[in-house]
Amino acid sequence: MSKNGLLILITSVAALGGLLFGYDTGVINGTQFYFSKYFELESAMKGWVVSSALVGCFIGAISSGFMTKAIGRKNSLIISALLFTVSAWGSGMPSVLPETIPLLVLFRIIGGLGIGLASMAAPTYIAEIAPKDRRGVLVSFYQLAIVTGFFVVFLATYFIGNNFTPEENITEGWRWMFWSELIPCFLFLGLTFFIPRSPRWLMMVGKEEEALKVLNRLHEPEAAQKEIDEIKHSLKREANSEAKTVSVWQSAVLPIVLIGSALSLLQQFTGINAVLYYGGDIFEKALGYGQEDVLAQQILLGAVNFGFTFVAMYTVDKWGRKPLILFGSYGMLLGFILLGGSLYFNQVGVISLIGVLMFIGSFALSMGPVTWVLLAEMFPNSVRSTAMSIAVAVQWGGNYLVSQMFPIMAESEANVSGPWNKSMPYVVFGICIIVLIVFTKKYVLETKGKSLEELEGVWAEKYGKIES
């Protein structure tokens, strides 16, 4: 196999963590529509069951920095695959287990631990094996895998749902929707054992010969040696003592961590997961679709999400990260203006659907993949694991807030019966998107075409040199 083919193959295996990320979070969209009726959940409890996985995501993300550093990126991916598998089996609540909401929540949290761990380990691993001129597109494989997971699970829930009556979906169908995740779980778990360890992690633990061997398999010899030299230089401050650490609180590091964390938070405050998690409710309650159409509409969401991610992959290393974020943010804002306006003025119909799809497409070509690319690139080597785990944990914290509050806000009397006429959530999200635009223009650094080590120099010029 050619070096390029091997690089793409290894990237694809690591990106399966993203596919399970998308599958595990997307499966809640179809299932919650039915298990909410099965358990007769009120809006606040529905928000807790849906968002409970995000508690696990937060814990998994915040602990991922230590874990990926201690046992490596590859082993962290293997552990995440095991967590996904346990969660997929348990969330369907087999008949041998008591059928209770706390049990469902427990297995959702276990799945969240897997998502949180994979959401840091996978893009970090990909960024650390990729050549700098292709790092953007290769890290975007992770986001492509996420939206593929969403699209595949929407197809799965649609076909599973069509094989049951509406009443059977409420009692049994949603269980099979959860269990369908076991197929990609076993695939990810099996293949992850065969990928090499991250060369940067190998260098961090003093295994230079093995790191060079990995890079020689993936790059040309001259490029591999140059990469080794750059990594060695960037880790020089820590070479004499493995116990040495760099604090994320020092003045040269904290601004970078804050920028990455703010970008993560704003990604969630665009409202993307309110649409992806509660798409069924939006189509049924806000847009007036019948229950039989809900799963089909989710496929449309997934298809747009999937298709526009390819646009991002094609342009991220050509246009750059910052222009894509800005372009997509304007599109997301316009999409919510159409959706919110059609609801407010009682003109629900094609314009409403166009607004939802415009928002999804704009997110898919911007904040979806570009946030992961930037997070995988922007942090200095000496603090990457810790800094990225903080930023990803903040992202999951924001995801939890949006997922918990959306059904409460959407079903509140002020939104449903008051002057908002069901448009309130989209006005709030629109304001957050405006904040994102301002923040990106002022604080986000363009990273296109720079090596991970070159970026350290750019940050050093801006905020000072990192002290060990």
In sequence order, what DSSP letters do the residues of 135-146 get, joined into one string? HHHHHHHHHHHH
What pLDDT is stored for residue 20 in this prediction? 92
Assigned token pair, 424: 């309130």
**Cα 149 from Cα 161, distance rounded (Å):** 18
Per-residue pLDDT for the chain (468 aa), expressed as one digit of tens each?
788 889 899 999 999 999 998 898 788 877 887 888 888 888 788 888 888 888 888 888 888 888 988 999 999 999 999 999 999 999 987 655 666 888 889 999 999 999 989 988 998 899 888 887 787 788 888 878 888 898 898 889 888 988 888 889 888 899 999 999 999 999 999 999 999 999 889 988 889 899 999 888 888 888 888 888 888 877 775 554 344 456 777 877 888 999 999 999 999 999 998 887 676 666 665 555 555 566 677 788 888 988 998 898 888 888 989 999 999 999 999 999 999 998 898 887 788 888 989 999 999 999 988 998 898 888 887 787 788 888 888 988 898 888 888 888 888 888 888 788 889 999 999 999 999 999 999 999 888 877 777 777 878 888 877 765
SS (H, E, C) 169-210: HHHHHHHHHHHCCHHHHHHHHHHHCCCCCCHHHHHHCCCHHH
Would you say residue 468 lies in a domain?
no
Q: φ and ψ at 294, to 5 degrees?
A: -60, -50
CA atoms within 13 A on the CB side of 264: 28
Would you say residue 98 lies in a domain?
yes
What pLDDT is stored for residue 456 in this prediction? 79
Would you say residue 332 lies in a domain?
yes
What pLDDT is stored for residue 47 in this prediction? 81
How many other C-beta atoms can be found within 10 angstroms of the C-beta atom of residue 38?
Answer: 16
How many other C-beta atoms can be found within 10 angstroms of the C-beta atom of residue 155?
Answer: 16
Cα 300 to Cα 25, 81, 162, 334: the distances in Å are 17, 28, 16, 19
Would you say residue 211 lies in a domain?
yes
The residue written with tokens 């050619």 in the block is 2
* Separation of first and last alpha carbons in the chain: 41
- Number of folded domains that form the chain: 1
Assess contact for 71 and 61: CB atoms under 8 A: no
Domain span including residue 109: 3-463
**Cα 422 from Cα 431, distance rounded (Å):** 16
Would you say residue 191 lies in a domain?
yes
* All residues at 6 or more sequence positions from 173 whose CB lies less than 8 Å from its CB, including other chains: 34, 160, 161, 163, 164
What pLDDT is stored for residue 286 in this prediction? 54
**Cα 404 from Cα 402, distance rounded (Å):** 6
Assigned token pair, 441: 């223009």
Would you say residue 307 lies in a domain?
yes
**Cα 264 from Cα 374, distance rounded (Å):** 10
**Cα 253 from Cα 155, distance rounded (Å):** 43
What pLDDT is stored for residue 139 in this prediction? 81
| CATH assignment at residue 440 | 1.20.1250.20
* All residues at 6 or more sequence positions from 2 whose CB lies less than 8 Å from its CB, including other chains: none
What pLDDT is stored for residue 150 in this prediction? 83
What pLDDT is stored for residue 117 in this prediction? 92
